[in-house]
Structure 1
Amino acid sequence: MAKSLYKIPASIARSFLDHQIALSKGGWATKPSPIKQLLFFGGGVLTLLWVTTSTFISSASPGFIALFVIWGLAAIVYFGGMTKTKELRAMKVPALLAYIPAGARHVYTRRDSNPGDFYSIVGIERIDDDGRLHFADGGEGQVYLVVGSASSLLFDEDRIEILDRVDAFWRKVDTTCEWATITTKESQRIYQQIAHLERRNQDLEIRDPDLIELQNEQYDILMQHVGGRFTSIHQYLLLKAKTADALRRAHMVLQAELEGSALMIKEAAVLDKEETESMLRVFYQGIDDELLSLRTSLS
């Protein structure tokens, strides 16, 4: 039976320092804090006390020492804060320091450039003609264009059936394969409409100027308005496994779900190399550049 309320379960990668402790005094209770945050606050305060009493700061004027203490306490409170992923802000400092050099913020993608830097961002070594992804860590993957059944107009009975089906599906998924859902907002797909317009143009026996002008007008409407200004939400499913056998088993689970019911996934189409690269261009090239390349290829 579907639940009326869901929550994000605790990660199994938690350590002892991730356990939360609620500090209370009398009838006043504070928000639970993880042990690592309390240790960070305690260590920060002790370090600040040692710096102000045992270093050259202790010989400064009282006003400067007061300002330094205020600044130190503010830094401790800020870097000891928790992010949305339950991590200390101080854990982000090494990544920030690595991003400061100008060389770390620019990745050259020329043909004669070292592809190692680009692999560190994308992690994809190559894409086969059938769309099979080969990652830098040795894993393999496949991308599917999926269509689900969720809608804000669902009846309560349909919503319960979908939630029960999704819950049962994730209980049988093997942990050797990662299932990542990618949601993008892209331009309307007009490939089939353009292909139909081209076939109709080739089958046109009478090359009347008015008919040619009408077809050109329809082509401009598809390219500039439908495929240029209007966007829609597209969802992709990326299966990434450590081995080819694990990817094959995940594909069989997905295929069995498609054949067994349409509650979770109504349709799923395997993307080939060209379609996979088109999907990745949304992240690494942008929608406008993708439309420009589409118009160039169709012209």
Structure 2
Amino acid sequence: MAKASYKVPASLNRSFLDYEITLSKGGWAVRPSPIKQLLFFGGGVLALLWLTTSTFIASASAVFIALFVIWGLAVIIYFGGMTKTKELRAMNVPALLAYVPTRARYVSTRRSSNPSDFSSLVGIDGIDKDGRIHFSDGGKGQIYLVVGSASYLLFNEDRIGILDRVDAFWRKVDTNCEWAVITTKEPQRIYHQVATLERRNQALEVRDPDLIELQNEQYDILTQHVGGKFTSIHQYLLLKGKSAEALRRGHMMLQAEVEGSALMIKDATVLDRDEAEPMLRVFYQGIDDELLSLKASLS
């Protein structure tokens, strides 16, 4: 049965510091606190006490010491607070300091900019003939053209079944493989139609001018209108594993899901290099240049 609401499950990588202790005061139970939070509060209070009694702050005026104690307690309470993922706010300080420099927060993607920073994030070293992607960070990827089952016309039973299936699927996904769903609006794929038209042209035994003109007209309609002006929504699934073995496990899991049920993914088609490159050009080259390249390749 699909749930009305969802929550972040407890991490399997927990230590004894993550266990919660319920403190009571005067018969009233206080909200459970993890051991690491209690240790942080205790260590923070001891550090504050040492600063106010054994450093130069001890020789300051009483007003200054009082203000310093209030400020210190506020800092301890704030950074000792818990996030929604049950982590101390103090754990985010190193990441915050890493993003303080302006250069660390922005990646320039202008044509005249140095592409090293952008390439280190999403760079691709090459694509094999079968569509295997080799990323600059050492990861391996594969792109699939997927078709789902979602629709505004679903019955409640079908909607509940899809939610249950999706919920059960994401519970067993291997964390060593990333699953990225990409939705694009691009020209319709006409490669198979053009190939069929070319095979028909090669099979003509009588080269009648009227038949040749009819085929040329169909070719112009496919390349200039259907494959150029008319766009449709396409959904892709990018699997990126930290290694070839992680990608293989992700592929096996996807294949098992497609073969086991059509609720989550109705169909998944592996894209080879000739099919994956046009999709990636939307992100790496731009939609305008992609349309020009598509028209040039079909003309």
Distance 1:97 1:164, change over 3 A: closer
Identity over aligned pairs, percent:
59
Q: C-alpha displacement at 1:10, in angstroms? A: 1.6
Contact 2:131 2:271 in 1 (8 A): yes
Unpaired segments ≥5 residues, structure 2: 198-212
Distance in 2, Cα, partners of 1:60 & 1:258: 71
Distance 2:57 2:89 in 1: 26
Distance verdict in 2 for CA 1:137–1:258, change over 3 Å: same
Tell me which residue corresponds to 1:190: 187
Bigger radius of gyration among the two = 2
Which residue of 1 is the match for residue 61 of structure 2? 61
- Structure 2 residue identity aligned to 1:242: S
**Alignment partners' CA distance in 2, 1:106 and 1:202:** 51
C-alpha change, 1:105 and 1:264, in structure 2 (3 Å) is closer
Contact 1:176–1:242 (CA under 8 A) maintained in structure 2: no
Aligned length: 273
**How large is the RMSD of aligned CA atoms in angstroms?**
4.4
Tell me which residue corresponds to 1:44.
Answer: 44
Paired residue secondary structure (1:92):
helix
Instruction: Provide the residue aligned with 1:240 in structure 2.
Output: 241
Rounded Cα–Cα distance in structure 1 between residues aligned with 2:122 and 2:215 = 41
Aligned to 2:9: 9
**CA distance, structure 1, for counterparts of residue 153 and residue 24 of structure 2:** 45
Q: Residue 203 of structure 1 corresponds to which residue in structure 2?
A: 216
Answering whether residue 92 of structure 2 is matched by residue 92 of structure 1, we say yes
Give the aligned residue type for 1:238.
Answer: L
Q: How far does residue 73 in structure 1 lie from its aligned partner after superposition?
A: 1.6
Residue by residue over 1:13-61, the C-alpha shift from the partner in whole angstroms, topping out at 9 and shown as x without a partner, is 1111111223332453333222212211111111111111111111112
Distance 1:59 1:254 in 2: 67
TM-score normalised by L of structure 1: 0.68
> How far, CA to CA, are the matches of 1:277 and 1:87 in structure 2?
41
One-letter code of the match for 1:95?
Answer: A
The one-letter code matched in structure 2 to 1:182 is V
**SS of residue matched to 1:203:** helix
Structure 1 residue 296, shift from structure 2 partner: 4.0
Structure 1 spans left out of the alignment, 5+ residues:
none
Query: Cα deviations across residues 174-228 of structure 1 (Å, max 9, x unaligned)?
Result: 84852524355x4x2224489999x9999349x9xxx9xxx99x79xx86xx76x
Cα distance in structure 2, aligned partners of 1:92 and 1:25:
31
Specify the code of the residue in structure 1 equivalent to 2:133. L
Please report how far the alpha carbon of residue 291 of structure 1 lies from its aligned counterpart in structure 2 after TM superposition.
Answer: 2.5
